[in-house]
Amino acid sequence: MIFAAGIGSRLRPITDSIPKALVPVGGITMLQRVLMRLKSFGFNDVVINVHHFAQLIIEFLHENENFGMNIHISDERDELLDTGGGILKAKPFLEGHEPFLVHNVDILSNIDLLEVYRNHIASGADATLLVSDRTTTRKLLFDKNMRLYGWLNHTTGEVKPDGFVPDISRHRELAFEGIHIISPTLFNYMGEGTTWQGKFSIIPFYLSVCQLLHLKGYELKDITWFDIGKLETLQQANEYFNSKRI
């Protein structure tokens, strides 16, 4: 699943006229770059959620014949559902026996996505979050086995879940990188009969179930990675990809 529904407010004024997913990076749209990365690793069945300038994304895919992939649209034009709600709405396309990979459209990297997918399957985890030791004020906390235990905001001192006490001798602080792999077992803990329905973010959901389920981190090292959701990093990514042209 590719998250492409966001308004892209940090990329204004560019996103005043086009969706974030169609912003070019080195002459190629974010969405096409992510799709081609997924396709290169054998991910051919894709769900894309849409909201902001949704029709432009749909037309772009149609004009390019879905890049030879089997693409479904999860339409959030009525309401933007955030990451967790977006996954839940796309459940009819995602549920089954196989885990699925979730990728933010504004994340570009050279990560071996097939390797991390196979690692997730081998581990038997309910979800695997790709993380790194980059600088940020908000960190996920893992034990020595990379099992998720909590979250800490260094600016406000806020800790999740309620009652969790971080221990610097036991917990590693790592940053989420916008890519994760989810087993369909997680659908048992969201939706009808739970507090997790409608619009909600996936990280608070993960933190609410991390003591019940096996949620783990996969640490990334020595990678090229861009979060191009803001103007400054978009410029950096443009410079990088333009320098790689032949």
Q: Please state the domain extents for the chain.
A: 2-243
Identify the residue whose tokens are 């507090």: 195
Q: CA-to-CA distance for 163 and 176, rounded, in angstroms?
A: 22
Q: CA-to-CA distance for 152 and 157, rounded, in angstroms?
A: 7
The dihedral region occupied by 79, where left means phi > 0, alpha psi between -120 and 50, and beta the remainder, is: beta
Confidence tier at 222 by pLDDT (50, 70, 90): confident
pLDDT in tens, 40-69: 999 999 999 999 999 999 999 999 999 999
Q: Between these two residues, 162 and 58, which has the higher pLDDT value?
A: 58
- 39 alpha-carbon distance from chain centroid: 17
Describe the crossing of helices 82-89 and 202-209 by its angle, rounded to 10 degrees.
Answer: 80
Stretch 113-118: mean pLDDT: 95
Confidence tier at 245 by pLDDT (50, 70, 90): low
pLDDT in tens, 126-151: 999 999 998 888 999 999 999 999 99
- 109 alpha-carbon distance from chain centroid: 12
* 243 class by beta-carbon count within 10 Å (0-12 exposed, 13-18 middle, 19+ buried): exposed
Q: CA-to-CA distance for 59 and 53, rounded, in angstroms?
A: 10
Structure confidence at residue 246 (pLDDT): 47
Question: What's this model's pTM, rounded to 2 decimal places?
Answer: 0.92
Is residue 169 over pLDDT 80?
A: no
Is residue 25 over pLDDT 90?
A: yes
Structure confidence at residue 10 (pLDDT): 92
Contact predicate 34/108, CB 8 Å: yes
**2-243: CATH homologous superfamily?**
Spore Coat Polysaccharide Biosynthesis Protein SpsA; Chain A (3.90.550.10)
pLDDT in tens, 200-212: 999 999 999 999 9
CA nearest 67: which of 102, 96, 28? 28
Question: For 59-68, which contacts have Cβ atoms below 8 Å and span 24 or more sequence positions?
Answer: 60/22, 60/29, 60/31, 64/32, 67/32, 67/35, 67/36, 67/39, 68/39
Structure confidence at residue 46 (pLDDT): 97
